[in-house]
Amino acid sequence: MKILMVLTSHDALGDTGHKTGFWLEEFAAPYYAFRDAGAELVLASPEGGQPPLDPNSELPDFQTPATERFREDAQAQHALAGTVRLDEVNEADFDAVFYPGGHGPLWDLAESRTSIELIEAFERAGKPISFVCHAPGVLRHVKAADGAPLIRDRRVTGFTNGEEAGVGLTEVVPFLIEDEFQRLGARYEKGEDWQSYCVEDGRLITGQNPASSEAVARALLKRLA
């Protein structure tokens, strides 16, 4: 069982002067779920090397057993510091793909032709594709085999308008996932803000927010089993 984890390389939070990147819990919880299940993991990002960590995800309020474990895990830190370039990976080498969120993916991975084509390759090959929090936003330009949006008429979730308003970034992000998915004709679903909510539509698995990270990982592992 070999899983590709794709992280953002984007660190600028719009024009605010603040930093963003990937959200630690959304990486750490799935990373350990996969690793503890015996999966072989490869970490990738558009630029390779160390992906930017959203500094807010290191605040005390957002720590979990998985993030604490990561801080004590030199092996995991070394793996994260050496992500391979996304244009060097091939769908054929993996059984599934997982995208952690954080705001960064809305800027780079959502518009990356390399990422778009990679997701399409996984989907065409009948392999599970999974995304959590803001990472479902990377699906906005992904097409199904017939040329329609991949998520049209599919059940999906992602960071809600209410959650984006709650972090004060409604006017900063390049697009709102809830609005964009509805515009594309997806069957967008959501649970309570900040509570775990995971949606499966065949081999497409999406989670609403950081609290959904482990649920998405578990759903992916179940598919692979």
- Tens digit of pLDDT for each residue in 138-170? 999 999 999 999 999 999 999 999 999 999 999
pLDDT on residue 183: 98
Q: What is the mean pLDDT of residues 22-42?
A: 98
Taking each helix axis from N to C terminus, what angle separates 74-81 and 24-36, rounded to the nearest 10 degrees? 120
Rounded Cα distance, 66 and 70, in Å: 6
What is the number of domains present in the chain? 1
Q: Per residue in 55-99, pLDDT tens?
A: 999 999 999 999 999 999 999 999 999 999 999 999 999 999 999
pLDDT on residue 67: 97
Q: Which tokens in the block code for residue 4? A: 């590709």
Q: Per residue in 128-138, pLDDT tens?
A: 999 999 999 99
Q: Using the 8-state DSSP alphabet, how is residue 193 labeled?
A: T
What band does 201 get if pLDDT is binned at 50, 70 and 90?
A: very high
pLDDT on residue 178: 98
pLDDT on residue 160: 98
Domain containing 134 equals: 2-224
Rounded Cα distance, 139 and 129, in Å: 10
CATH number for the domain harbouring residue 46:
3.40.50.880
Q: What is the mean pLDDT of residues 16-22?
A: 97
Q: Using the 8-state DSSP alphabet, how is residue 223 labeled?
A: H
pLDDT on residue 11: 98
Rounded Cα distance, 218 and 33, in Å: 7
- Which among 3, 149, 23 is positioned nearest to 89, based on CA atoms? 3
Residues 6+ apart with CB under 8 A from 29: 64, 66, 213, 214, 217
pLDDT on residue 96: 98
Mean pLDDT score of the chain: 98
pLDDT on residue 194: 97
Rounded Cα distance, 179 and 212, in Å: 20
Task: List, in sequence order, every residue forming a beta bridge with 96; answer none if it has no partner.
Answer: 3
DSSP assignments along 131-164, one per residue = EETTGGGGGTT-B-TTSSBTTTT-EE--S-HHHH
Rounded Cα distance, 186 and 134, in Å: 16
